[in-house]
Structure 1
Amino acid sequence: MDLITKDSETTLVLFSSLDRMLENVEYVVMNYRPVLNGEHYLTGDEVCERLCISKRTLQDYRDTGLLGYVQLPGKIIYRESEIESLLEDYYINKRLLK
């Protein structure tokens, strides 16, 4: 029976596999979007980035009913389909105005 040390090939392969698994888990965590009834939801930061607006403007959109949302304990999420609809309804291409 061989002695397994931190420098043995078996240990190096194990640690390499663990590193790859950790990278995969980190990717899933960073790119996870909740799916409920086939609908994708976005966080407030993602909506602000997609619409190029501030968090305060996003709150104004919620308050005026321009944008629907779902409030969970400690978190507000937005339907991706509503964001896309908002963009289709209100987006003006400035290049077309010139």
Structure 2
Amino acid sequence: MSEIMTRKNERIKRFFGLLDRMLDKIETALTGCKPTLNGERFLTNQEVSDKLKISHRTLQDYRTAGKIPYIQLGGKVLYRESDIQKMLEENYRKAWQ
């Protein structure tokens, strides 16, 4: 084990390759992660529209009609993720056949 480890050493190349792959996986995992506020995640108009597969206009109609709870701070509208989940569960209809 008296050999000097350099960048050309195969063990060093493998080690740094593993580190690169780990970093890529960590970055991928953090991309979809949003910080919470008091344990609650908040979603934007775009995220709720995508999740419900509806247009921004339909989402606005739901807000106006009081069908969907929301928070408005200035021009920014946010939705509690738990409120969206609860709304979906309350409107779930089982198949009857």
TM norm. shorter chain > 0.5: yes
Task: Quote the offset at 1:38 in angstroms.
Answer: 1.8
TM alignment of 1:19-98, pairs within 5 A: 19-30=21-32, 32-71=33-72, 76-93=77-94, 95-96=95-96
Structure whose alpha-carbon radius of gyration is higher: 2
The secondary structure found in structure 2 opposite 1:22 is helix
C-alpha distance 6-58 of structure 1, shift in aligned 2 (>3 A) = farther
Shift of 1:91: 2.7
| CA RMSD across the alignment | 2.9
Structure in which a larger fraction of residues adopt strand? 1
Aligned to 1:13, which of 2, 12, 15? Answer: 15
Q: How many residues align?
A: 95
Q: What are the ranges of 5 or more consecutive residues in structure 1 without an aligned counterpart?
A: none
| Structure in which a larger fraction of residues adopt helix | 1
Q: Percent identity?
A: 36
- TM superposition score normalised by structure 1: 0.66
Deviations 1:40-89 (A, max 9, x none): 22343442344342332112222333222234688643112211221233
Q: List alignment gaps of at least 5 residues for structure 2.
A: none
In the alignment, is the contact (CA less than 8 A) between 1:70 and 1:77 conserved in 2? Answer: yes
